[in-house]
Amino acid sequence: MKIQRTLPPTAAPLSLWNLVRALSGVRGGKKCRDQLSQELKEQFSAHGIFLVSSGKAALTVILKALTAGSPRRQVVIPAYTCFSVPSAILKAGLEVVLCDVEPDTLDFNFQEFESLLNEKVLCVLPTHLFGFAADVRRVKRLCQGKGIIVVEDAAQAMGAKSDGGLIGTVGDIAFFSLGRGKNITSGSGGIIITKSAALSELIQAEYSRLPELSGLDVIRNWIKMVAMWCFIHPMLYWLPAGLPFLGLGETKFYTDFPVFRMDELRAAQLQGWAQRLAEANLQRAACAHRLIQTLDLPMRDAKTLTRTDGIYLRLPVLMRDRKTKEAVCKLSQESGAGISPNYPTTIQDIPQLSSRIVVRSCPGAQEIVDRLVTLPTHRFVKEGDIRKLDKLLGSTTSNAIPLSQKTSLTDESTSSRPCSMPMK
């Protein structure tokens, strides 16, 4: 454990005043939750809004609702994504089907994706990873007429726009995460949105069965939020980051997570969420552009740098090779620079899934595992931190490629190969 300024890899905006206002939820009854739901309905022009305990809880509720009356049991997801996604699929009693991804977009390999769409597929999950917009419109076109639901995984992209519209409003259903490192936070929490009256009715039936948190658990969650607010600051983050039993930054797969309705205290803490979210996303985008400019990483296409509607929950960068990535992450850990290696494996390499997926090569996803790091873009990143990152990256490589540029790193003959097929 080293006492030094230590940047968290990601951090959501949260103030002491937000925590104080959260206490109004103790006496607010259903008022705070109803108000939040109404504000979200108006913001996203949604028919149904459902507030739950986490992003993975939100996906679990969606999947259980979609299985009502449907014999389909397969869910197509990217081969590189958050481990919470397959954990929710298994918790809902469904089958994971993987599609390889393109390293330069973090989106589906669409040649492979189209071949996976059949009468067994219940839904597909285009994923807006790190706030990078997936091509949901293309996904919808490919699914049209096949009875397949498009569920936007917008856990990391709340408030982002694509093609002039808000992310989460193009697919049939979407969900956001309010975890401690997301675009906006209530410590934890999840939001389900849909414009469809029929789908809203299905989700409502599942949502109505969810329990409420006990009063003691609500208070515990508030205390955790206070601790997060205190120790997320770079002058103190070295302490929790240096305690192995906290497991900060670790990616774990488990299916025994709780699924509850969002409590009133968390809903109250989100008062003023729209302005907080907009300000945080603008700040992240500005920080990402400043990093790209300062670090002077090789570029092929500067067009995405001028996008006014782009957000970066983190700044993804592909290093030259796995060895370089490991060197960068080691130096970052020693110096507190906040660089993250992200998910440690592709989804098919999660041990708990070995008996549920026929493992096959996923070259695009493996490329990302081997080479991807992300740089922090949150409000705690200062000019001194950017200079530290510049020095750190300069000492290890001159061949890092920011994923904000469209840079093809995988030969077409390999990137179009199938990833894995479900067990029959």
HEC string for 5-24: CCCCCCCCCCCHHHHHHHCH
Could you give the 3-state DSSP secondary structure of residue 285?
A: helix
Predicted pLDDT at 309: 56
72 pLDDT more than 60:
yes
Boundary-marking domain end, from 168, 190, 213:
213
Determine the Cα–Cα distance for residues 136 and 141; give it in Å rounded to an integer.
Answer: 9
Residue 356 binned pLDDT confidence (cut-offs 50, 70, 90): confident
Same domain, 188 and 298: no
What domain range is 155 assigned to? Answer: 16-213
Average pLDDT of span 51-66: 98
Same domain, 326 and 394: yes
311 pLDDT more than 80:
yes
Asked if residue 335 is part of any domain, the answer here is: yes
β-bridge mates for residue 340, sequence order: 374
The vertex-255 CA angle with 186 and 211, nearest 5°, equals 55
β-bridge mates for residue 101, sequence order: 108
Chain CA centroid to CA 391, Å: 28
Same domain, 314 and 409: yes
Boundary-marking domain end, from 213, 237, 257:
213
Asked if residue 257 is part of any domain, the answer here is: no
Count of domains for the chain = 2
Q: What is the enclosing helix (H) or strand (E) of 415?
A: helix 412-415
Predicted pLDDT at 409: 37
Which CATH number fits the domain that encloses residue 376?
Answer: 3.90.1150.10
Boundary-marking domain end, from 166, 193, 213:
213
Asked if residue 278 is part of any domain, the answer here is: yes
Which CATH number fits the domain that encloses residue 61?
Answer: 3.40.640.10
Same domain, 292 and 161: no
Could you give the 3-state DSSP secondary structure of residue 423?
A: coil
Same domain, 290 and 187: no
Predicted pLDDT at 420: 45
Asked if residue 239 is part of any domain, the answer here is: no
Same domain, 298 and 167: no
Asked if residue 290 is part of any domain, the answer here is: yes
* Strand duo 121-124 + 74-78: pairing: parallel
Q: State residue 76 phi and psi, 5-degree precision.
A: -90, 125
Tell me the pLDDT tens digit for each residue of 111-152.
999 999 999 999 999 999 999 899 999 999 999 999 999 999
Residue 66 binned pLDDT confidence (cut-offs 50, 70, 90): very high
Q: Write down the mean pLDDT value for the chain.
A: 87
**Greatest mean pLDDT range, 246-260, 271-285, 348-362:** 271-285
